[in-house]
Structure 1
Amino acid sequence: MHKLVTLLFTLAVVFTSFGQDIDYKNPKEYEIGPVNVLGADNFDHTAIKLIAGLRQGDKITIPGDDISNAIKKLWNEGLFSNVEIVKEKVIGDVIYLSIILQPRAKLSRFKFNGVTKKEADKIREEIDLFSGKNITENLIFQTENKVEHFFKDKGYYLVKANIVRKVDTLMSNSEIFIINVDKGEKMKIAELNIVGVETVKEAKLRRAMKDTKQKAFWRFFKRSKFMDVAYKRDKLALTNKLQEEGLRDAEIVSDSVYIIDEKHLGVDIKIDEGEKYYFGNITWVGNAKYRTGYLDTVLGIKYGDVYNKTLLEQRLFQSMESRDITSLYMDRGHLFFQIIPIEKGVVDNHINYELRIIEGKEATIGDIFIKGNFKTNEHVIRRELRMKPGDLFNRNDIIRTQRELMQLGYFDQEKMDFIPIPNPQDGTVDIEVVVNEKSSDQIELSGGYGANTLILTAGLSFNNFSVQNFFDKSAWSPLPTGDGQRLSLRAQTNGMFYQAYSFSFTEPWLGGKKPNALSFWMNNNSYSLSGNLSRADKDYQGISITGLGVGLQRRKKIPDDYFTAYYELGYKYYDVRNYNLLAISNGYSNNIYAQYVLSRNSIDAPIYPRSGSRLTFTAKASLPYSMFDGVDDYSSYSQQDLVKFNEFYKLKMTGEWYLPLTTDKKLVLAPRFGIGFMGAYSQSKGLSPFDRFSLGGSGLTGGVNAQVNGTEIISLRGYGTTSTVVSSTIADPMIAKYSVELRYPISLNPSAMFWVYGFAEAGNTYTALDRFNPFNVKRSVGLGLNVNIPMIGMLGFSYGWGLDALDPHSDGYRKGNDILRANGQMPGVFQFTIGTNIGDL
């Protein structure tokens, strides 16, 4: 409006300036003489004349549209605040003109009042202001609007932005913007009223509005602030939800947002729900491969069901469970399949459909292209592919291949893509596999505090190593990589009391033909009570455990190909001297054992799983020496003779599930359970002092004692930092543990992936089989943060509260502490962990 008034005023001035010697009743044609440009010293005068269309020698008619059009052209450039074209003189039929311009002021700089520096930096990214920009009324309006919109998205519903223009005395024709912001108070939604709906519960409608929530004390993950853009989006979601409930004519009649007080808003939404509709008769046309009855079963919609167009589209085109007609055909080669739903009419509120199918020819896989693998060798990717050239196209094979590639841990799961390239002329489809490499190697230099001591750790883990290129100098950049082999070196120490060294190597595809993973490992753990790790010293008090083993993992096809079987043969040698924390204080023990692990793993990603499960059964046993030595009574045997050859058997069962609670699969519920039992072949010989279960702490160092005592460390947050706080000092033969976590990611960027979680867990160990009670457990709750950095690995931080009194046999039992815990006065426990699997059954 302001521009229009200015333009009309300018044209009026022009007509006045042309009034002398001009007869408006009799238009006359003139020849343009020299044109003078005034007031635009910093502009190209020739360009201005070209823009205006006034060139010397041209003919113009006065009065006429030529002058007014020239003014409009210059005005539309947005460079001038005032434009005039005046007659200087007329000689014969030649008219001399002057273009008088007033350039717009330019912005020299701008600043904010009423906002923090952090807020100002973010606003600068939103607004389009820079030094030298021409100042217009529209620029001022848009800038104020963007600033207000920025804060409204933060919950400041009453925010006001005002730009004050100040002349810059240091630069000619320039101004400074002072952007004053009055944010006001953050406004929360105190009342959200949805009226006019009787057939759908209001709570269900409220849940459909993802970002517009009424204030409630229990709401943690979604704030109740009001955002205008989110509100408009939620009104659409509300309408869609009503239509999913059969109310396809439902509409929002009116809505209002009103102020209750200085901190609270109210939202009223009035709805006309209309009539309720149902599915009528559904007929199929064009189906040759599958009979109609089978398609009806897959569709899962029958006559009389509440009408839900969203559900119909999911069952036809794509559902999260792959229970849809399109998947049915595409998983059997019909890449060019089409299905067209046609609404055939409405009878008594029942909507009839005709589903027209174009099956198309079966497509076979053509070429498979791999892109983005600058580090991983192509054969490592190709051996994980579930499809090969010549196979029938199967969408499920592509989904499964994506999962297998994610499990390698070499690629960014958010950027992996499979692009089908159809070739209708020959009935084939090429597949382009796009991966994005991420760092999978880890350099670990860290310190952790556990068992009242500081543990320093140094480690190297190369998860995509290449032995084949080890002697190729050109492959060292900085290390030979790309063949998917895993090499790990690790050392831990706290000085002269504890040292540990380990080495492992895994070839995931032994022979390169089948996914048979061969692994080899060796380690040594030494612990001294005397602060001297030299066993040659006569005052040495401690224990040393040396172990080595070889394992083979094979993928199985029965019951399904999510199963793997792992076989291990291992040996450990225990050297004990003047060590009174075990049943044997001096001597040695040999432990030769075999282990079998049957596992089913269908989780979708190794770092932050969002769906799937992992079930594991483990059996571990030594040779049953007592069955062959002919001895029935070992009461006369010394402890050294009893443990000279360690014998035991051990059974474990664990399970974990990942259940997405939101459509974006970010909020995940992760329940787990684990149960374990260790037994003896001979009751007379008794239970082995090694390989028992220790429960408590974080499992970071096991409390150093637990590692060197040869026990299996299981974490239990909230009950202190030592690993045996819940178990007896020498550990126990039975264990039960249950836990559940509610996780939400803050960042899924592979360079720094981290998420927060709340947990509840319970567990206990038992000194004998007759004392086993899976419901006699020690409970805890807490909060935590996990951070995964590629070159470091997984770091965990948690704070937990133990809720139950410990049993008298527990190593951490203190009667005073249990009284405090029973009265709810026991302080929480902070714990720090390194690694993903430490401390789990």
Structure 2
Amino acid sequence: MEKQANNSLKGIANSLRNHLKILIPLLLFSIPGIAQETNFEDGKDYILGGLTVTGLQSYNEQTVVTYTGLRVGQPIRVPGDEISAVIKKLWNLDLFSNVEMYYTKIEGDQIFLELNILERPTLNNVTVYGVKKRKVQDIIDDTDLKKGKKITESLIANTKNFLQNKYKKQGYLNANVNIATVADTSGTNTQNMVINVKKGDKVKVRKINFIGNEKLSNKRLAKSLKNTKKRKPGRFWKKSKYIEADFQEDLDKLVETYAERGYRDARVITDTFVKVNEKSIDLSITVEEGDKYYFGDIDFVGNTVYSDRVLAQVMGIKKGDTYNGVLLKERVADAGDPDANDITNLYQNNGYLFSTINPVEVSAVNDTIDFEIRIIEGKETFLDHVTVSGNDKTNDHVIFRELRTRPGQKYSKSNIVRSIRELGQMGFFDAEQIVPDIQNPDPNAGTVDINYSLVESGSSQIELQGGFGGGGFIGTLGLSFSNFSLKNIFNKEAYQPVPMGDGQTFALRLQASRTFRVYSLNFSEPWLGGKKPVRFNLSLSRTQQFATGYNSNGRLDVDRSRGFAITGVSAGLAKRVQWPDDFFTISHAVSYQLYDFNDYNSGLFNFGNGSSNSLSYTLGISRSSQGPSRIFPMTGSNFELTAKMTPPYSLFSGKDYKQLKEDIDETTQRLYDLQGDDSTEGQLEFARLQEDLERMEEERFKLLEYFKIKFKGDWYTTLVDKLVLRTNAEFGFLGAYNHDIGDVPFERFYVGGDGLGNFTLDGRDVVQLRGYENQSLTPYSRNPITNNLEQDGGTIYNKFSLELRYPLTLKPSASIYALTFLEAGNAYNNFKDYNPFELKRSAGVGLRIFMPAFGLLGIDFGYGFDTDSRPSSVGPSGWQTHFIIGQQF
């Protein structure tokens, strides 16, 4: 019995040894890194009798078998290269966490194999804690954690490292990210991922230590670190938070600071930070300054187009000047300013696109460095093809007429920059996305193509407003089409929803309430005749103001049978000129207004019946170079000087206006004396004199004569990044030719408030000055008849403002920028009262939102530091809220 048991055990051992002889080599192939080292000399040749795949959960068995490349009936060596290659191939898919190959049986020369696979789990859902909800999708997109992705150890580790590094780069040096996966029972072999982010506080810089500096002070070096500042109480405009990328950029600026002062060999040896606590670090920067150097001889080599003298003038560096490596680079090619006056632009603006300019240090003796500016001018380059793309609505000819680059012209970088500005100023395209693509450069032929890639933005606007004012509800409906096409107005197929594409402007506006109505129509063609930039403008308007009063119940009564109306028409031409430069425009306009009064009296109008006529000519000179966008200009300026004047009728009318003035003054004084006289004779005389005064006043202003001069200037300066300073100055003066006639009661200046020109019935200029109520800085005068103080409008005003702007987004769908401002200004009755230093001051903050369909919307919060001009006002104006509606840029 014992012998039989021993024989059985011996048989089992022999069988197990035979199986292990096959299994162990196969298992060795399933372990990456070992299969490559296996000796195949002990392998045996078989015929593959069958291959099964086990462990699959989501994949089809036949698909896996096909992918292995093994076929039943093929010769196969076990162990051998083919099995090793199959296992490697499956591992490289990164879809499986384990791959093993077994044989299940051997029948003669046939072997049957089993491929056992353990699939990796699939990602179903991702949950992120510790960040704002709106940031979750950004994290999922940045880490590519898409549903259906296979979850691997590498994926988890890479996601964790990416997020931790991301937040550390933002200043969260203590950021910690934990990732866990849990089984998801809703699917087969799926898991959910949970990401827990603990950013902690941003680390601030407590102290910055400089080591090794003797030539430049700690203060000078600290100042060169533009983005990395140590914590300092009271400094809110520059944060002290440590951002790694900003710090590394600042180290380069520190080296540049040395290079600007002659220390060309200066370098940062080490930079370290010491963690003080969870919220603070100390920075240590060790520098090696080196010696101070000076410029020696600067020779130009290879130049034939420009002489050494011309190039030396552009270079602007003389022998003996302190070495300045930064300045040298900028004078050769200033990468930060496309319009810079450097040698590279000098060549590229004159057709030499393929020119290269390299400053080469040829000798350094003691403290003096000699340079050669080596120039390869290349072949003169001309534009072959100029194309545009992306303009789905705007016709090609509207774009091409604004371009300063045309086929056959010499290549000019400055012309390309100017073309980008002109396209941005049109308002039809997103200025941020105008890209000039240089194509097919051919140095041998000296030709190049340019394609302007454009993104259309909305050019039509709808104005629909409702509010209360002027005695009741005010409704406004406005339609403005700034890319209109008049020639297609009868083409039904062109209506989308109106004919578009020719760059014309067509606007309709209706505003109405119980007390007034305003209708206006405007049309503008920027290229009259299509060949020259001559703008034609035509506008028609009709305004009606009804008489109002309050009944015994205190309610407003409106009498539509009494009132006055203004009917106006204006036509103008504006031509872009070439001198002094091609940013200048000269404009001419002729306008006519009929003021018609029907039993209507106001403080400005001393006659209730009759009419006045105003025929005027306006000459304007303007220079507009701001850009690149008209919505958010970052550079350039805009100046406008206009003179509006009527014919001096009194010079040739033959009327004795001096006597008329004396009669008016005498009648006015008599009316003033009769106030309070309740006798029948006094009342009859008062009524008669009032009729006489109205008649004389109508005669005085039957034909309005005046001149009106206005100046407005805006400067735009980019300070840092996209932080822009807008500087503004304005001035206006309304004068008379004949002092016996005096200043007209129209065309005056009303200062204060939001500056919106709604409900301007008499040609007035409404001037914005935030921090005060609308028109509250307009002077008052005493009515000689009623002895009441009445607001007549100023004949002189001046205004100054500083405005800091920063964009939150400049996308085509909506451009948004925040601002803060300082303003000062005032209005005056005459030169006798004029004092340019007696200004009303204010400060505040605001926000602007530009949407193509609705124009500019905004809100300002301003604080007025002074008392306004109203007689009842006492103390500072205080906080005022202003809503901005309309295209005011």
SS of equivalent to 2:346: helix
- Is 1:682 the counterpart of 2:738? The answer is yes
**Residues 211-256 of structure 1: per-residue CA shift (max 9 Å, x gap):** 5444456655664443444444444454455445544433333333
Cα distance, 1:724 vs structure 2: 5.1
Letter of the structure 2 residue corresponding to residue 573 of structure 1: L
Rounded to whole Å, the distance in 1 between the matches of 2:605 and 2:431 is 50
Letter of the structure 1 residue corresponding to residue 194 of structure 2: I
Rounded to whole Å, the distance in 1 between the matches of 2:718 and 2:28 is 73
SS of equivalent to 1:500: strand
**Residues 537-584 of structure 1: per-residue CA shift (max 9 Å, x gap):** 978554322211111112222222221111111111223333232141
SS of equivalent to 1:143: helix
Rounded to whole Å, the distance in 2 between the matches of 1:215 and 1:229 is 18
Cα distance, 1:268 vs structure 2: 3.2
Bigger shift: residues 267-276 or 646-655:
267-276
The 3 A distance-change label for structure 1 pair 525 and 155 is farther
Rounded to whole Å, the distance in 2 between the matches of 1:17 and 1:650 is 94
The 3 A distance-change label for structure 1 pair 461 and 166 is closer
SS of equivalent to 1:530: strand
Letter of the structure 2 residue corresponding to residue 552 of structure 1: L
SS of equivalent to 1:439: coil
Contact 1:450 1:721 in 2 (8 A): no
Matches within 5 A, 1:169-568: 169-200=185-216, 202=218, 205-206=221-222, 209=225, 211-216=227-232, 223-318=239-334, 320=337, 321-421=339-439, 422-447=441-466, 455-493=474-512, 495-530=513-548, 540=561, 542-568=563-589
Q: Which residue of 1 aligns with 2:591?
A: 570
SS of equivalent to 1:661: strand
The 3 A distance-change label for structure 1 pair 279 and 456 is farther
Q: Which residue of 2 aligns with 1:607?
A: 631
Rounded to whole Å, the distance in 2 between the matches of 1:452 and 1:205 is 64
Bigger shift: residues 517-526 or 194-203:
194-203
Rounded to whole Å, the distance in 2 between the matches of 1:346 and 1:408 is 53
Cα distance, 1:614 vs structure 2: 1.5
Bigger shift: residues 233-242 or 372-381:
233-242
Aligned partner of 1:717 among 745, 764, 770:
770
| TM-score normalised per structure 2 | 0.82
| TM-score normalised per structure 1 | 0.87
Letter of the structure 2 residue corresponding to residue 613 of structure 1: S
Q: Which residue of 2 aligns with 1:28?
A: 42
- Is 1:732 the counterpart of 2:794? The answer is yes
Bigger shift: residues 515-524 or 185-194:
185-194
Contact 1:734 1:765 in 2 (8 A): yes
Aligned partner of 2:718 among 653, 656, 660:
660
- Is 1:795 the counterpart of 2:857? The answer is yes
Bigger shift: residues 308-317 or 64-73:
64-73
Bigger shift: residues 609-618 or 109-118:
109-118
SS of equivalent to 2:156: helix
Contact 1:725 1:813 in 2 (8 A): no
Letter of the structure 2 residue corresponding to residue 522 of structure 1: L
Contact 1:450 1:701 in 2 (8 A): no
- Is 1:646 the counterpart of 2:704? The answer is yes
The 3 A distance-change label for structure 1 pair 554 and 120 is closer
Q: How many residues align?
A: 803
Cα distance, 1:784 vs structure 2: 0.9
Aligned partner of 2:649 among 619, 625, 635:
625
Cα distance, 1:518 vs structure 2: 1.9
Letter of the structure 1 residue corresponding to residue 862 of structure 2: G
Rounded to whole Å, the distance in 1 between the matches of 2:28 and 2:525 is 90
Bigger shift: residues 755-764 or 827-836:
827-836
Letter of the structure 2 residue corresponding to residue 590 of structure 1: N
The 3 A distance-change label for structure 1 pair 685 and 170 is closer
Cα distance, 1:450 vs structure 2: 6.5
The 3 A distance-change label for structure 1 pair 134 and 525 is same
Letter of the structure 2 residue corresponding to residue 31 of structure 1: D
Bigger shift: residues 236-245 or 270-279:
236-245
Rounded to whole Å, the distance in 2 between the matches of 1:556 and 1:115 is 57
Rounded to whole Å, the distance in 2 between the matches of 1:531 and 1:146 is 72
Rounded to whole Å, the distance in 1 between the matches of 2:259 and 2:492 is 66
Letter of the structure 1 residue corresponding to residue 121 of structure 2: A
Rounded to whole Å, the distance in 2 between the matches of 1:506 and 1:514 is 15
RMSD in angstroms over aligned alpha carbons?
3.4
Rounded to whole Å, the distance in 1 between the matches of 2:503 and 2:198 is 58
Letter of the structure 1 residue corresponding to residue 663 of structure 2: S
Contact 2:779 2:793 in 1 (8 A): no
Rounded to whole Å, the distance in 2 between the matches of 1:301 and 1:16 is 72
Rounded to whole Å, the distance in 2 between the matches of 1:105 and 1:602 is 61
Letter of the structure 2 residue corresponding to residue 572 of structure 1: Q
Aligned partner of 2:612 among 570, 589, 597:
589
**Residues 321-343 of structure 1: per-residue CA shift (max 9 Å, x gap):** 43011221222222332323333
Letter of the structure 2 residue corresponding to residue 578 of structure 1: Y
SS of equivalent to 1:414: helix
Rounded to whole Å, the distance in 2 between the matches of 1:554 and 1:780 is 38
SS of equivalent to 1:552: strand
Rounded to whole Å, the distance in 1 between the matches of 2:884 and 2:562 is 29
**Residues 753-803 of structure 1: per-residue CA shift (max 9 Å, x gap):** 121111111001112212211111111111111121112112221110011
Structure 2: runs of 5 or more not aligned:
1-22, 32-37, 551-556, 665-695, 782-790
Rounded to whole Å, the distance in 2 between the matches of 1:168 and 1:512 is 68
The 3 A distance-change label for structure 1 pair 713 and 170 is closer
Contact 1:31 1:94 in 2 (8 A): no
Rounded to whole Å, the distance in 2 between the matches of 1:540 and 1:81 is 92
The 3 A distance-change label for structure 1 pair 316 and 95 is same
- Is 1:580 the counterpart of 2:631? The answer is no
The 3 A distance-change label for structure 1 pair 153 and 545 is farther
Sequence identity (%): 38
